[in-house]
Amino acid sequence: MPSAMPMIACKNIFQVLASAVVVLIAAGATANSNFTAATGNTPKFTMHSKPQPMPALVFQDGEGRMIELKNFRGKIVVLNLWATWCAPCRKEMPTLDRLQAQLGGINFEVVALSVDFSGAQVVRNFYRDFGIKHLRLYIDPSSRVLDQVKVLGLPATLLIDRNGRELGRLVGAAEWDSPEMLRLFRGLIGKEPEDRRVDAARSMSAALAD
């Protein structure tokens, strides 16, 4: 008599498989020369030698309205790609919420973009359960954005300038409201000309790895 097989919803299978892929990719991230691995407790951005153009990203807000990345022009943007089933994402999300609370405004925005397959409600539940109060809900249930920005593992964070160009990226979790990170972002949104701010950010990012 064959043993009974438990019934598992397809979406749960996909989430389990996706989580396993993320873990395997994260474990091998140091082999990818495009990224710099975290060192100690202070991971750093890998800054580009010059700002790179961004694809035209389109996603949804918590009410299902379509949002474009270009809507954030004029701000320094921390674009964090994450999912509720990603353990490192879950750990860092409260620090992103605190970063938005401290610096968010007309000059700076944390855009936490979920790629959860299950839709906005699962993210809304996560925000409630983890006390996320300052981040707006953004979601791309198709996960198309991951292909557009050529990201393989979660979490991944892109640093975007006021003109919508990518300054650098960080793959892996970080403590986003640490003193080092706050200095980095305050330097970028300071009063110096933008080219000098970007150079200062590169210097700070390099120093964080020493």
Task: Compare 43 and 163 and report the one with higher pLDDT.
Answer: 163
Q: What domains can you pick out in the chain, each with its CATH number? A: 33-208 (3.40.30.10)
Print the SS3 string covering 32-96.
Answer: CCCCCCCCCCCCCCEEEEEEEECCCCEEEECCCCEEEHHHHCCCEEEEEEECCCCHHHHHHHHHH
Percent residues over pLDDT 70 in the chain: 70
pLDDT of residue 26: 40
pLDDT of residue 197: 47
- Report pTM: 0.74
Looking at every residue in the chain, the average pLDDT score rounds to 81
Q: What is the mean pLDDT of residues 133-139?
A: 98
pLDDT digit string, tens, across residues 171-190: 999 999 999 999 999 999 98
pLDDT digit string, tens, across residues 9-25: 444 444 444 444 443 33
| Contact in structure between 84 and 90 (CB atoms under 8 Å) | yes
How open is the CA angle 82-68-71, to the nearest 5 degrees? 110
